[in-house]
Amino acid sequence: MSHPIDPRPAHRLRATLRRGVGAAAMLAAAIGLGAPSQAAPAPVPSSIRIGTLYASTGPFAVPSLAQYAGLRFWADSVNHAGGVYVKAFHRKIPVSIVAYDDLSSTSTATALYNRLITQDKVDLLASDFGSVLTSVAVPLAAEHKMLLLDQSGSSEKFFTGATPYLADVSIPTTAPEGVLLTRFLLEHKLRRVAVMYDANDFDAPLARSIQESLGKAGVQPVYYHAVPTTESNYNVLLHTVAATHPQAVLELGYPPNDISFLRTLAQSGLHFDLTLTVFPGQMLGLIEHNVGARALAYTYTYPTPPLVHYAKVSYGMDTASFAQTFEQATHKAPTYLDCVGYNTGLMVEGMLGTAEHFSQADFHQALAQLSGKTRTLLGAFALSPEGAQTGQYFPIGQIVPDGKDLKDLKVQLVYPPQVATAPAVIPAPAH
């Protein structure tokens, strides 16, 4: 960039210098460096590089790989159409995903998130599945002043203050889920509640929300106990729970926990009026395959897309269209986490198509502009000032037989009333 030469005569410059103005400052002014100049525009990248992690092994592998598959599906889709439109450059640019395997380890994830930011210098950063593997990315993104697209980490502790470096793009935070469930229990006069939860960044806040919501109604859980996320033996735990004579038993864990718990419950001969686990609503096929339809029948969960359909969308495919297209392309039915990964891509698409400049601050501002005005296959998109997702929520559903026998299952929405498709069957039939 050329700079204008000061047109003032040399003798006037010398006079000014003699009046005590520093020579260095006047030299800068004389050649035009003293005036503010506009920064050069960012060069057009050959591709938009999205950095993320996945887990090929460990307790988070199945949902993590599904989420990664959904993100890749979106990238392949937009690249097939010539790339994603980037408003800052007024053109479509291909998307590339830079991904590493964190093996379900937070220490490995920490090192790899840092590598994506400092060595790979990706344009966008998206977290791995769940609150546990997202927890280490949140402070790193803030430290490096980089916006983190939180795909499925819902822990309340991530959203304790307003920040321009965190946006939960796909999943509601845990507190509203706990409040909704508590309301459902109390309206059905289920006051003897047992809560068994994993001691991690997802399940512990959800359990605490339930405990606090019950407490506000003057109810204390008859059982409230944390277990390790690696817990696989629920036999003694279940009999300890049964000794408290609960009406409702809530097991809050990840897929391996739900599978072990439901298997043990089915084999124990124990029966409760209401039993709820989390992940059948997100990965029904996986849980049913591992525990059988009989063990799941009449239990409760939080149903999610594609079990719940959203037809009106601002970007991408609606829920039903995505489920059909994804299955045709991958030869497997999508889970909620496949939808989450695809939804992350849709929010990237909306963000890049809205941001005036190609900068982290503009990306954050673009998401704020989309908040409250955008719908995707996961429902409404809305962000709180702290970056928490407030537009989407999980209803309460009951898994019931689809027919006269227990071979096939379906999920019926039972709460809140405005979305309910069937009444709750309480107490659950023994079988």
Which single residue is written with the structure tokens 């005590």?
20
> Among 19-23, 251-255, 315-319, 396-400, where is mean pLDDT lowest?
19-23
Confidence band, pLDDT 50/70/90 cuts, at residue 407: confident
d(CA 235, CA 237): 5
Residue 80 within any structural domain of the chain: yes
Mean per-residue pLDDT for 67-86? 98
Residue 35 within any structural domain of the chain: no
Q: For the chain, what is the mean pLDDT?
A: 91
What does the pLDDT look like over 284-302, one tens digit per residue?
Answer: 999 999 999 999 999 999 9
Question: Which pLDDT score, from 0 to 100, does residue 42 have?
Answer: 75
Q: Are residues 142 and 237 in the same domain?
A: no
Question: Which pLDDT score, from 0 to 100, does residue 2 have?
Answer: 37
Residue 30 has pLDDT above 50, yes or no: no
What does the pLDDT look like over 46-59, one tens digit per residue?
Answer: 999 999 999 999 99
Residue 25 has pLDDT above 50, yes or no: no
Domain limits for position 184:
174-307+395-415
Q: Are residues 152 and 193 in the same domain?
A: no
Question: Which pLDDT score, from 0 to 100, does residue 40 have?
Answer: 63
SS3 assignment for the chain = CCCCCCCCCHHHHHHHHHCCCCHHHHHHHHCCCCCCCCCCCCCCCCCEEEEEEECCCCCCHHHHHHHHHHHHHHHHHHHHCCCEEECCCCEEECEEEEEEECCCCHHHHHHHHHHHHHCCCCCEEECCCHHHHHHCHHHHHHHCCCCEEECCCCCHHHHCCCCCCEEECCCCCHHHHHHHHHHHHHHCCCCCEEEEEECCCCHHHHHHHHHHHHHHCCCCCCEEEEECCCCCCCHHHHHHHHCCCCCEEEEECCHHHHHHHHHHHHHHCCCCCEEEECHHHCCHHHHHHHHCHHHHCCCEECCCCCCCCCCCCCCCCCHHHHHHHHHHHHCCCCCHHHHHHHHHHHHHHHHHCCCCCCCHHHHHHHHHHHCCCEEECCEEECECCCCCECCCCCCEEEEEECCCCCCCEEEEEEECCCCCCCCCCCCCCCC
Residue 389 within any structural domain of the chain: no
Q: Are residues 313 and 165 in the same domain?
A: yes
Question: Which pLDDT score, from 0 to 100, does residue 386 have?
Answer: 95
Q: Are residues 234 and 98 in the same domain?
A: no
Query: How many domains does the chain divide into?
Result: 2
Mean per-residue pLDDT for 89-93? 98
Which single residue is written with the structure tokens 């822990």?
155
Is the model more confident about 393 or about 20? 393
Q: Are residues 162 and 86 in the same domain?
A: yes
Is the model more confident about 274 or about 40? 274
Q: Are residues 60 and 146 in the same domain?
A: yes
Residue 201 within any structural domain of the chain: yes
Question: Which pLDDT score, from 0 to 100, does residue 132 have?
Answer: 97
Mean per-residue pLDDT for 206-220? 97
Residue 429 within any structural domain of the chain: no
Q: Are residues 182 and 259 in the same domain?
A: yes
Q: Are residues 223 and 315 in the same domain?
A: no
> Among 3-7, 150-154, 185-189, 327-331, where is mean pLDDT lowest?
3-7
Confidence band, pLDDT 50/70/90 cuts, at residue 393: confident
Is the model more confident about 359 or about 11? 359
Residue 14 within any structural domain of the chain: no
Residue 200 within any structural domain of the chain: yes
Q: Are residues 168 and 189 in the same domain?
A: no
Residue 67 has pLDDT above 80, yes or no: yes
What does the pLDDT look like over 153-212, one tens digit per residue?
Answer: 999 999 998 889 999 999 999 999 999 999 999 999 999 999 999 999 999 999 999 999
Query: What is the pTM assigned to this prediction?
Result: 0.89
Q: Are residues 260 and 178 in the same domain?
A: yes
Q: Are residues 203 and 293 in the same domain?
A: yes
Question: Which pLDDT score, from 0 to 100, does residue 35 have?
Answer: 39
- Percentage of residues of the chain with pLDDT beyond 70: 91
Q: Are residues 223 and 272 in the same domain?
A: yes
CATH for 221: 3.40.50.2300
Question: Which pLDDT score, from 0 to 100, does residue 16 have?
Answer: 37
Residue 277 within any structural domain of the chain: yes
